[in-house]
Amino acid sequence: MAITEDRPLELTTGETVVRQPLGAFTRPRSTTGWRSWLTTIDHKKIGILYGGTALFFFFVGGVEALLIRMQLAQPDGQVLTAGQYNQVFTMHGTTMVFLVVMPLAAAFANYLMPLQIGARDVAFPRLNAFSYWTFLFGGIVLNSGWFLGGSPDNGWFNYAPNSGLAYSPGNGIDFWNMGLLIAGIASLVGAINLIVTALNMRAPGMTLMRMPVFTWMALVTQFLLLFAIPVLTVAQFLLMFERLFGAQFFDPAAGADPLLWQHLFWIFGHPEVYIMILPAFGIVSEIMPTFARKPLFGYPFMVFSGIAIGFMGWGVWAHHMFVSGLGPVSVAAFSLSTMFIAVPTGVKIFNWVGTLWGGKLKFSVPMAFAIALVVQFTVGGVSGVSHAVSPSDTQQTDTYYIVAHFHYVLFGGALFGMVGGLYYWWPKFFGRHLRDRLGWWHFWLMALGFNLTFGPMHIVGLQGMPRRTASYPEGMGWDFWNFIETVGAFLIGVSFLVFAYNIIVSRNNPPAEADPWDGRTLEWATSSPPPVHNFDEIPTVSHLDDWWHSKYRETDDHRLERVEGVKSYSSPEGPSEPPHLPSPSYWPFVLALGLPFVAYGLLYSYWLCGVGGVLILAAIYGWSLEPSVDPGAHAHHDEHEHGHGHDDHDADAEEPVAVATTPEETTE
């Protein structure tokens, strides 16, 4: 229900009567320029926003990593003071987990899920935009410490009671707390959105067991987020009340047990690592079949092992606490459960090998990254099994052996997988390929740099080098490998400079086809990039890998034959009837903007909270009251957003709105 004027507006054509919403409730119309990005609710644009922002934060986290490595290149490093080092390593970890890997996964999930299930957008497009802006503001609040008197410096896990006011009197910890509370809202809301999308908006004929594996893994990830983020939120509220309002949740002097923080954090923290890896597993499960020219080996096992990981991931958290004083019974129980979570993960590794086996393997750049994930995740996986042996873990925990483990699974696994996904889907997202030769330079430098950095960490960790230490003395036997690790880290940096260069020069590449890799899933059944409405007609699905099945059929002698004349689901002419699409909105941005005001207000001045509160209230009203579809909007959609180079229409120009509102468009 929008506020409208009663009298008709006069139009030059005089053709129809349009009731124009007033003022703040007018939906924005831009489809190009910075305003279109600010007000977009298109899942594809939001995916790109997530990806671009994540890559920016990757640069920030990467610089932090290089600072760490410079400090540790030699014994008794003097590059950073201990206080500075503690801020840098804290921000490195927090940034990479919350501002890089998670949003990169969100980028892929946002862009691909609707396409892969044959939908036009997610279930709640404005909520989707809100998620992105909230994530961005959370990242900004988290990083404001660099400019506002000191960043958080208590590790990404921020244990109590060192996180309390007594031992961390500045605002650093508060920036960690507020920034992540805000970013947590983004993840939670995004999870709800994507779950509803996957469960409700699949194309006709797409049963759950015909959903692409990436969509499946993304769906399991959203369920994990749905239940894990609130646990972190609770922990962070307890901490916030302790630091700001005098609560004593973690104060031993008041009778509290500091281990409460650890339990809450790791009940979130362990599912969190599966949140980070499952999307990359999904990506690899898409890339490998494409470049092996055969289906993913054991689709049902792959789906069910992903679900199993999702469930079992809740039962292992205290393996992060084996030396915290839990007592032998708890330690034994979690040791057992941790061992067994290796089973569904191992299944995936073997199924990927099975996908390669008997295939016709094309070693493209995306395929290289996918294979690297399989190899490197195996290393991280087996070292993980060694930590599951809790007596061994009493030696290994808090050493560089653990740092090696999680970098192998998160960087060697998740990040390699996601970079492979970028190379794979880049033509789909941007309509142009990334250059092959530069891609290979990127891959080899990254693989070499990565293994040189994190391989030796296994050794120094086993030689007793603890984590989170600002420097180490001479005479411990750690000097040589630390130096090598620093060299490796700079190689990684160089590899990403190559990547950045590739991105820049690839803007001049020729336009990409709709289906350049001969893919199997529906995103390849539409143009590159897809039109704003994704598909001219919603596909009807009759198989797993339905797009592949429409391109190939089995002959009498069981060979596959290419079907002639298969058309994609989008064409330059566009759909015969303009599809119903949601309109852009700026209220998601405004609502998200209120959050950092509240956060800073709690730290500096309650007036700021008031401003934030007003923004939030106004945005809620605006969001609820704006018309569901701008009456004039859909006339524009079939003129823009088809492939590249049609950016010469400015939708903000004074074009006559010649379409009458029809009754069904104003219903909620």
Query: Rule CB under 8 A: which of 144-203 touch another protein?
Result: 153-155, 159, 161-162, 167
Structure tokens at 628: 């569901």
**Is residue 350 at the binding interface for another protein, with CB under 8 A as the rule?**
yes
Nearer to another protein, 35 or 467 (CB): 467
Nearer to another protein, 114 or 380 (CB): 380
Choices 194-202, 271-279, 310-318, 320-328 (CB under 8 A): range interacting with another protein: 320-328
Minimum distance from residue 301 beta carbon to another protein (Å): 5
**Is residue 248 at the binding interface for another protein, with CB under 8 A as the rule?**
no
Choices 41-49, 112-120, 457-465, 639-647 (CB under 8 A): range interacting with another protein: 457-465
**What residues are paired with 432 via a beta bridge?**
511
User: Per-residue contact track with another protein, 472 to 491, x per CB under 8 A?
Assistant: xx-xxxx-------------
**Is residue 38 at the binding interface for another protein, with CB under 8 A as the rule?**
no
Structure tokens at 78: 């003097």
**What residues are paired with 21 via a beta bridge?**
4
**Is residue 142 at the binding interface for another protein, with CB under 8 A as the rule?**
no
Q: Which of 477, 412, 486 is nearest to 453 (CA)?
A: 486
Among 20, 74, 248, 469, binds another protein (CB under 8 A): 469
Minimum distance from residue 355 beta carbon to another protein (Å): 9
Nearer to another protein, 1 or 353 (CB): 353
**Is residue 560 at the binding interface for another protein, with CB under 8 A as the rule?**
yes
Nearer to another protein, 29 or 458 (CB): 458
- Phi, psi (rounded to 5 degrees) for 459: -70, -55
SS3 label, residue 334 = helix
**CA atoms of 478 and 481, how far apart (whole Å):** 6
Q: Which residues contact 66 (CB under 8 A, 6 or more apart)?
A: 489, 490, 493
Choices 118-126, 212-220, 238-246, 294-302 (CB under 8 A): range interacting with another protein: 294-302
Minimum distance from residue 423 beta carbon to another protein (Å): 15
Nearer to another protein, 485 or 630 (CB): 485
Among 18, 66, 339, 635, binds another protein (CB under 8 A): 339
Nearer to another protein, 311 or 350 (CB): 350
**Matching residue, tokens 């998740």:** 414
Minimum distance from residue 333 beta carbon to another protein (Å): 10
Structure tokens at 451: 């293994």
Which ranges in 293-341 belong to alpha helices (H)? 299-312, 328-340
Structure tokens at 301: 């096992």
Nearer to another protein, 81 or 540 (CB): 81
Among 75, 150, 354, 574, binds another protein (CB under 8 A): 354
Among 38, 385, 438, 635, binds another protein (CB under 8 A): 385
Nearer to another protein, 188 or 489 (CB): 489
Choices 120-128, 276-284, 333-341, 653-661 (CB under 8 A): range interacting with another protein: 333-341
Among 23, 246, 255, 645, binds another protein (CB under 8 A): 255
Choices 55-63, 92-100, 381-389, 413-421 (CB under 8 A): range interacting with another protein: 381-389
Distances (CA, A) of 506 to 34, 344, 510, 531, 574: 22, 39, 9, 21, 27
Among 467, 634, 640, 649, binds another protein (CB under 8 A): 467
Structure tokens at 446: 């990254």
Give yes or no for a contact between 388 and 317, defined as CB atoms under 8 angstroms apart. no
**Is residue 15 at the binding interface for another protein, with CB under 8 A as the rule?**
no
**CA atoms of 437 and 238, how far apart (whole Å):** 51
Reply yes or no: is the peptide bond before residue 529 cis, omega within 30 of 0.
yes
Among 4, 395, 506, 661, binds another protein (CB under 8 A): 395
Nearer to another protein, 313 or 456 (CB): 456
CA dihedral sign of residues 219, 339, 352, 396: positive
Q: Which residues contact 112 (CB under 8 A, 6 or more apart)?
A: 47, 214, 215, 218, 425, 523
**CA atoms of 400 and 389, how far apart (whole Å):** 17
**CA atoms of 384 and 353, how far apart (whole Å):** 20
Could you give the dihedral angle defined by the CA atoms of residues 594, 628, 226 and 258, in that order, rounded to the nearest 10 degrees? Answer: 20
Among 295, 511, 622, 656, binds another protein (CB under 8 A): 295
**CA atoms of 54 and 100, how far apart (whole Å):** 5
Minimum distance from residue 425 beta carbon to another protein (Å): 22
User: What is the H or E stretch that residue 440 is in?
Assistant: helix 436-462
**Is residue 371 at the binding interface for another protein, with CB under 8 A as the rule?**
yes
Minimum distance from residue 84 beta carbon to another protein (Å): 10
**CA atoms of 440 and 309, how far apart (whole Å):** 33
Q: What angle do CA 115, 120, 126 make, to 5 degrees?
A: 110
Distances (CA, A) of 443 to 376, 446, 491, 501, 609: 14, 5, 11, 14, 47
Widest Cα–Cα separation across the chain:
88
Minimum distance from residue 359 beta carbon to another protein (Å): 5
**CA atoms of 523 and 427, how far apart (whole Å):** 11
Nearer to another protein, 72 or 532 (CB): 72
Residue 358 neighbours by CB distance under 10 Å = 11
Length of the chain: 668
Choices 29-37, 213-221, 297-305, 605-613 (CB under 8 A): range interacting with another protein: 297-305
Minimum distance from residue 231 beta carbon to another protein (Å): 20
**Is residue 332 at the binding interface for another protein, with CB under 8 A as the rule?**
yes
Choices 94-102, 141-149, 382-390, 624-632 (CB under 8 A): range interacting with another protein: 382-390
**Is residue 70 at the binding interface for another protein, with CB under 8 A as the rule?**
no
Nearer to another protein, 361 or 538 (CB): 361
Nearer to another protein, 59 or 146 (CB): 146
Reply yes or no: is the peptide bond before residue 627 cis, omega within 30 of 0.
no
Nearer to another protein, 429 or 441 (CB): 441
